[in-house]
Structure 1
Amino acid sequence: MPNLDARLQAALHLIQAETHADIGSDHAHLPIRLAQLGRITRGVIVEVNPGPLEHARVNVTRAGLTDRLEVRAGNGLAPLAPGEVQSASMTGMGAQTMLGILTRTTDRVPDALVLQPNDSPEPLRRWAQERGYHVAAEVLAPGFWRYPVLRLERQSGPDPAYAGLPEAAALRYGPLLLREGSGLLREQVAADIARLTPLAAPGRAAEHDLHVAQSAAAWLSGSGK
């Protein structure tokens, strides 16, 4: 069985579906493990780069899962048919790259998404609010840095996860992560305040970012509740 690092382990635990697509899968370790554990019945692996595409095919064959996992060449969600999968995952990309994939083929975006960006997930949370997706689960995974992993589900109405929270802080750090208040998140907020304080000046972006981090710190300390 393939070994998964903490961020992919977090993604794995947020995925449970009959049909699932892993976009930009690279080595295909995540969908292989999902199939081996019975967390998905059928999977589609999408990879645009020839080298990783061949690597994925070899790994699926070695795992004996060619009857359950199909490897397709293509960019983003384009190789999928509308409604073909119940959920999709994207890991190890920048948030803007993920946004590009989600907005290029809107008719192929499934009802559930598991996203692990390598930078701030704030643009993805804003997209989710605009497109009718709620934050169903969030994890902060340790590693080279603190990796956010989100599960988004298509739902009607406003997302209740944000109710009662400072909105800017919830979008930046995650509404469910703020409510949980884990040690990892507290470390991240404290590190942001330390980094932004000497950079903040009136009118600069760092000033706004510092206020957001301070708002998150106030919530976590209890004074913002």
Structure 2
Amino acid sequence: MPSLDARLEAALALIHAEVHADIGSDHAALPVELVRRGRVRRAVVVELTPGPLDVARQAVARAGLAGHIDVRAGNGFAPLAPGEVHSASITGMGARTILGILRRAGEEVPPALVLQPNDSAPLLRRWAGEAGFHVTAERLAAGFWNYAVLRFERRPGPDPAYTDLPLAAALEYGPHLLRAADPLLLAQVHADIAHLTPLAAPGRPTQDALETARTALSWLTDPENKKPALRGR
């Protein structure tokens, strides 16, 4: 069983549930470690593709956890019974692919989610606001690039994570990451500004993106804005 890389370790740190589903699990490394470390009592692995499905089954068997981890073939949340799991994770996919899975599930999405998109994390933050979820914790994990890892929980009302933050910057870079002044985030914002500056011009989308990055940098470097991040589980 391979050890978890930084992005999956970050996801694991945000998961704690009685019954958890890992959607598109591939090698099943995350659910195996969730059970081993006592983060979950039982896990369900869902995998659509036959090859990774076999790999997941073999990994669970080698770990001796067949009694705690159920491996199922299927697409997204379809193999799960309504209310069967308390939380779910989707990692290592593009944000639009993750959005498709969530939207097809509709009301069957469990009350807690941990998502690690390979790109476009703002799409998931916007979806959460529309779907009645709050972002309760965020991490950045270093890898080929900085991976955002997000925990969402279904809660009523406006999301307090965005209170007193510049909204465009918080949606783009993450409200909890801004409040924590995450060093990886600061480096990312500097890189974004360097990349966008020669491309930006009035009327271009790159101009808006540059202004958002500059706003984020202003927040991150102003000592008055160094507030503790709101902590998730």
Instruction: Quote the Cα distance in structure 2 between the aligned partners of 1:135 and 1:210.
Output: 24
Answering whether residue 203 of structure 2 is matched by residue 196 of structure 1, we say: no
Secondary structure of 1:3's match?
coil
Secondary structure of 1:179's match?
helix
Q: Which residue of 2 aligns with 1:116?
A: 116
Q: Which residue of 1 aligns with 2:168?
A: 168
Q: Which runs of 5+ in 1 are unaligned?
A: none
Structure 1 pair 224–206 and aligned structure 2 pair: CA distance change class (3 A): farther
Q: Which residue of 2 aligns with 1:207?
A: 207
Aligned-pair identity in percent equals 64
Q: RMSD of the alignment, in Å?
A: 1.1
Q: Which residue of 2 aligns with 1:218?
A: 218
**Bigger mean CA deviation after superposition, 85-94 or 203-212:** 203-212
Instruction: Quote the Cα distance in structure 2 between the aligned partners of 1:37 and 1:114.
Output: 17
Q: Which residue of 1 aligns with 2:10?
A: 10
What is the CA-CA distance between 1:208 and the residue it aligns to?
A: 0.9
What is the CA-CA distance between 1:189 and the residue it aligns to?
A: 0.3
Q: Which letter does structure 1 place at the counterpart of 2:182? A: S
Deviations along 1:55-109, one digit per CA (max 9) or x if unpaired, are: 0000001111111101111111111111110000010001111100000011220
Instruction: Quote the Cα distance in structure 1 between the aligned partners of 2:213 and 2:178.
Output: 11
**Bigger mean CA deviation after superposition, 166-175 or 198-207:** 198-207
Deviations along 1:191-217, one digit per CA (max 9) or x if unpaired, are: 000000111112111111111101101
Map 1:22-171; keep pairs closer than 5 Å: 22-171=22-171
Q: Which letter does structure 1 place at the counterpart of 2:164? A: G
CA contact (8 A) 1:134 1:153 kept: yes
Q: Which letter does structure 2 place at the counterpart of 1:54? A: D
Q: Which runs of 5+ in 2 are unaligned?
A: 226-233
Deviations along 1:96-141, one digit per CA (max 9) or x if unpaired, are: 1110000001122000000000012101000111111111110001
Secondary structure of 2:161's match?
helix
Instruction: Quote the Cα distance in structure 2 between the aligned partners of 1:91 and 1:181.
Output: 24
CA contact (8 A) 1:15 1:114 kept: yes
Deviations along 1:169-188, one digit per CA (max 9) or x if unpaired, are: 00000000000001100000
Q: Which letter does structure 1 place at the counterpart of 2:10? A: A
Instruction: Quote the Cα distance in structure 1 between the aligned partners of 2:223 and 2:202.
Output: 25
> How many pairs were matched up?
225
CA contact (8 A) 1:2 1:33 kept: no
What is the CA-CA distance between 1:223 and the residue it aligns to?
A: 7.8
Deviations along 1:4-55, one digit per CA (max 9) or x if unpaired, are: 0000000001000000000000000000000111111111100111100000
Structure 1 pair 143–222 and aligned structure 2 pair: CA distance change class (3 A): same
Secondary structure of 2:116's match?
strand
Secondary structure of 1:136's match?
strand
**Which runs of at least 4 in structure 1 moved beyond 2 Å after TM superposition?**
none
Q: Which letter does structure 2 place at the counterpart of 1:31? A: P
What is the CA-CA distance between 1:224 and the residue it aligns to?
A: 8.5
What is the CA-CA distance between 1:2 and the residue it aligns to?
A: 3.9
TM-score, L = length of structure 1? 0.97
